[in-house]
Amino acid sequence: MNDNIFLVAILILFVLSSRPKKEKRAKRHILLTDDLHSMDNCCEKANSYGIKVIKPLPYISGMVCEIEDGQDQMLLALNQNLTIEEDVRVYAVDNTVGTAATATDSISLTGAPLLWKRTKGKGISVAVIDTGIANHPDITIAGGISTLGEVNTDKYLDDNGHGTHVAGIIGANGGRRGLLGMAPEADLYAVKALDKDGSGFVSDIIEAIVWAVENKMHIANMSLGTSESSEALRKTIRKAAFSPTIIVAAAGNSGRTDNPDVLYPAKYPEVISVGSANNNGDLSDFSSYGRELDLLAYGNNILSTYLGRTYRRESGTSMAAPQVTGALALMLSLGYRNKDAYRVLINTAKKAPLPPEKQGYGLLDLSTIAAQF
């Protein structure tokens, strides 16, 4: 009988050992350290333990790694001051295609053309952190970068359409159809941090912001977001706030859901958060809102440039944010300093009979500013 038990045990062990082992899946994570020296040490240790280091993030003393289950605890044991977070996905803020019947001439409604006799934004550089910018007769691309992948490249052309639409609202120059953006003479830089599906990692956005800061962009527009807070992104935004680069972001399009909160990075206090207003100047029903909201701009059915040298109408806070970016470009071109430019916009915004969390300081309106000249 003992022999039979022994044989059964051997058989069980054989079956268990012959089962295919569950494959460990590595996920992208961001590791934050105290300083660059600690980052270098951590990078060496990670490599020695077979952890793939995708790319460093020296601006925030961090790096991107692929970590399997359990390896995070091993790294924390090696460095108790280490912060580890998942490198989550960030998306172009969803937008809907509009129709000609209800199109909004948003540029005229903002009062921007009233300022064009004084300035059209010449000399102001704008980083469009998005899906890239496509070649289009109404857009001049001054330069750019792609932060997608393990190595940054100059392959920044748009393969989605979202970034081209946003760029046209900021600075279309009327080359073919006569379509003009808010600041037609501003210099547009394509900073591709989102792929053809309109998606990128937080680390891609971080590198895009860093590029904008290090290349002395006056303004960075981000019509993108995530519902998940990131310490790495927060650290980047805080540090960038001490640079001359103004950061503008779309609030999000979750107004019709049970969770209409403003998305990150627009939710951070150092970022100018922009919601969408409808044709009547009220909060668009799709627009996210909350106490973090700074301004509203028109976001319903906005005509702008698109892929294939075409034009398209779209709705969303993605379309509202670049109007504020373009307005800031005009203010900076007129000689206003960063904080003064922002202060002028919020002080001249149109107030609606809405609570502050649904309009911020009000609806973008440059007509009052134009009347002063």
Give me the domains of the chain, ranges plus CATH numbers: 23-87 (3.30.70.80), 90-370 (3.40.50.200)
Beta strands in the chain (DSSP E): 27-32, 52-57, 62-67, 83-86, 89-92, 96-97, 125-130, 141-146, 187-192, 199-201, 219-222, 224-225, 246-250, 272-277, 295-298, 302-306, 310-315
In this structure, the number of other CB atoms found within 10 A of the CB of residue 53 comes to 16
Cα–Cα distance between 138 and 184 in angstroms, integer? 9
263 has a pLDDT exceeding 80: yes
Tell me the average pLDDT across 97-118: 76
**Residue 372: is it exposed, middle or buried by C-beta count within 10 angstroms (0-12/13-18/19+)?**
exposed
Q: What percent of the chain has pLDDT over 90?
A: 73
Find the radius of gyration of the CA atoms of the chain. Answer: 24
Q: Which pLDDT does position 19 carry in this prediction?
A: 53
Q: Which pLDDT does position 71 carry in this prediction?
A: 78
Q: Would you place residue 150 in the very low, low, confident or very high pLDDT band (cuts 50, 70, 90)? A: confident
Cα–Cα distance between 285 and 282 in angstroms, integer? 9
Query: In degrees, to the nearest 5, what angle opens at C-alpha 320 toward C-alphas 125 and 158?
Result: 60
15 has a pLDDT exceeding 50: no
**What DSSP string describes 215-235?**
TT-SEEEE-EEBSS--HHHHH
Burial 222-251 (b: 16+ CB within 10 A, else e): bbbbbeeebebbbbbbeebeebebbbbbbb
**Tokens in use for 80?**
């108790």
Q: Which of 130, 158, 187, 195 is catalytic?
A: 130
Tell me the average pLDDT across 244-251: 98
Tell me the average pLDDT across 327-343: 97
Strands of the sheet containing 224-225, edge to edge, are: 199-201, 89-92, 224-225
Cα–Cα distance between 275 and 211 in angstroms, integer? 26
236: helix, strand or coil: helix
pLDDT in tens, 123-140: 999 999 999 999 999 999
Q: Which of 61, 254, 315, 318 is catalytic?
A: 318
Q: Which pLDDT does position 236 carry in this prediction?
A: 98
pLDDT in tens, 16-72: 445 555 455 789 999 998 877 677 777 777 777 678 899 999 999 999 999 987 777
Q: Would you place residue 157 in the very low, low, confident or very high pLDDT band (cuts 50, 70, 90)? A: very high
Predicted TM-score of the model (pTM): 0.90
Q: Which pLDDT does position 46 carry in this prediction?
A: 72
Q: Would you place residue 242 in the very low, low, confident or very high pLDDT band (cuts 50, 70, 90)? A: very high
H or E element that contains 38: helix 36-48
Q: Which of 29, 136, 162, 218 is catalytic?
A: 162
Residues 6+ apart with CB under 8 A from 325: 126, 170, 182, 219, 221, 248
- Confirm whether 318 is a catalytic residue: yes
Q: Which pLDDT does position 152 carry in this prediction?
A: 87
Q: In the beta sheet, which residues pair with residue 188?
A: 126, 141
Please report, in angstroms and rounded to a whole number, the separation of the first and last CA atoms in the chain. 104
167 has a pLDDT exceeding 50: yes
303: helix, strand or coil: strand
* Comparison of pLDDT for 1 and 311, the residue scoring more: 311
Cis bond upstream, residue 184 (ω within 30): no
Q: Which pLDDT does position 189 carry in this prediction?
A: 98
295 has a pLDDT exceeding 80: yes
Cα–Cα distance between 229 and 190 in angstroms, integer? 25
Work out the widest C-alpha separation in the chain, in whole angstroms: 104
- Confirm whether 162 is a catalytic residue: yes
